[in-house]
Chains A and B, each alone.
Chain A
């Protein structure tokens, strides 16, 4: 698959690298400034660690992400498995429904939620998780659908049922381990989305990690920049570890051997 790159390809890649790396370096340099830009040290980063808001708000976002991921799996895996088995005639409809969140701008959605939801739902920050499930639908549906299309699902389910497993056992112990990489992809998307989402959180007046960064910037712009660099680099490192890990860690090979 590897082909020779010509000179214009190199120019494009070089320009792209410069365009994406240079602002990041500049932001990093800026976040190290102290004393009105006279010297450089880590004080802006140390401030973050000592600020109690950092831990509480990151905690809220982490819990939201966890709940979103669980909700996505509980809702979507049985649904899509069924679409691949008995409910094939509804596949078009579900596919279409899952694309609707792409058409609705998040700000419009947030407005509707604000007026429509009863107070008991709006009194807890975890309402956001259910909304994150909705706005991640187009991506999670696709990830799981592609994963299920690539395995002999009917054979697996029939074999498992014939051996006396219930449908729930089949889902948890047979189907999910087989499409582990697709499940990982869907979970990863849901988690990334809930950790970075801003619009819904701010319009429904909740404090999450991204809205906290925006609040910090009001009084401590340097600390907000340090936080931004930290969260972007942090997310990038996690994804790179996933993407470049040796194949044995990424795929479901190791699980197959043990089960």
Chain B
């Protein structure tokens, strides 16, 4: 009976330890193959076939059903260009030129990885919806209060942004760490 309870204890503790290890290594941990371009981060392994067991698990958790990078490059950030965490109560200005790609979009996601509820349905700006400045650049506003144009709505909580580049130019596919991407600057907080 004593041996039985010891085996049971080893099984329970071992299982919990093993699952914790997986949680921290794969689910919470950052993926191998990550590169940065300013605040924007992407992963060279997303959409790849094969790879080792740990990489595949990581891709399944962080990039389920994502396409490989010749089809789409996905950049994500939880910080502004100064490296500070994005705060849904603050106003940010995203400015730059259209990235070198057939089509692009910038979308805000809540901490649960789903779209942020807002009555105006302003979840994103894209190459086709954005209003450009006279010099060809664009300025988008990410804030809880409506902006006159190129507005992405947030609520007063942490969030992250995804920049999608569909059919990116070959230079971006080759070297996603050195693409020309928009900057994210905090303008004000309440």
Q: Do A and B come from one complex?
A: no
Show the binding face of B for A, using Cβ within 8 Å: none
